[in-house]
Amino acid sequence: MVTELVRGVTWPRRQPELAVSDVETGRTRRIPLDSVFLSFRVMGARGRTYCLGRSASDGNGGSVHIPCPDRAYAVSGSQCDACASKDQFRFVHIVHRQKFVSKDIEAVVMQPHWLYVATFAGGVSKIGTATDTRKWGRLTEQGALVGRYVARGADGRVIRDMEDAVTAGVGLRQAVRASAKAAALARPVDLGELDAQNLAAAVEARELLSGSDFGRDSSIVDETWDPPAGRDALIDAGERLAYPAELSSGAHGFSIRAVVGSAALVTVPADPTTAYVADLSRLKGRRIEFGDYRTKLPPVQAVLF
């Protein structure tokens, strides 16, 4: 059997895919997650994740993936120390605080960027940035339920200055944990309320930015993000429970009905009438082996009177 390293859920063609790399060859393949039965078991040391390698510029505003040559454990985020030290993109989020842009990442940083406000299940909102080519995909991969673009900049430096200004002036955070997003999807969701919260935050952000001069061809925009179909499919499914097994270990097999970001609405053969929300981000950095596996539901203790 082939052992593969999970790189994560991606949306390269507006459809969710699970990116996995062959541990031996480093070759990556993408598994479509639309209406598929996914069955696998997690390999390797319990509680440990493996280095996902690093990114390098392709010279055209994008990046290429370089597997970890040592197949090492991850020690810092999703990388080992060696890959982290060589990653050309490790400073991209603070490039606006530096006086120069390295040639390695110039094509990425100096392209047009967007500033957005995303709101997730549970009502948490964040401010974020996306390149022109990742305008739609960035919010989608992060699992937003509602989103609005509030500004556009000629390059990544000015848009990150604007991002910091909104965080300082409005109080919008710049990150939300994947586990929190998935957990909130297992609870009732009121899209109307989330949209109102997102609109209010976006208006605040635009008002703050309008009163400042960021120059460098920046502009305020008012544009709504178009969510993927999986959002409504998940919410329309009715009652949803948190996936009852630990995805980072053991064997699993479930049918995927919808995907939001890295969270999937699934059913298991042992109980096909119950919908669960599985946080597939828990698989990132894990080694898995695909095969004929099924999720074992934990025993339910009867209520005693």
List pLDDT tens digits, range 43-77: 987 778 999 999 887 766 667 889 999 999 999 78
Record the tokens describing residue 38, joined without a space.
């996914």
Under 8 Å between Cβ of 67 and 26 = yes
The Cα 64–Cα 55 span in angstroms is 6
pLDDT in tens, 258-296: 999 999 999 999 999 999 999 999 999 999 999 999 999
| Spatial distance between the Cα atoms of 173 and 162, rounded to a whole number of angstroms | 13
SS3 content of the chain, % helix, strand, coil (to 5): 25, 30, 40
- On the 0-12 / 13-18 / 19+ scale of CB atoms within 10 A, 83 is buried
Q: pTM of the entire structure?
A: 0.90
Kindly state the tokens that stand for 305.
Answer: 């009177």
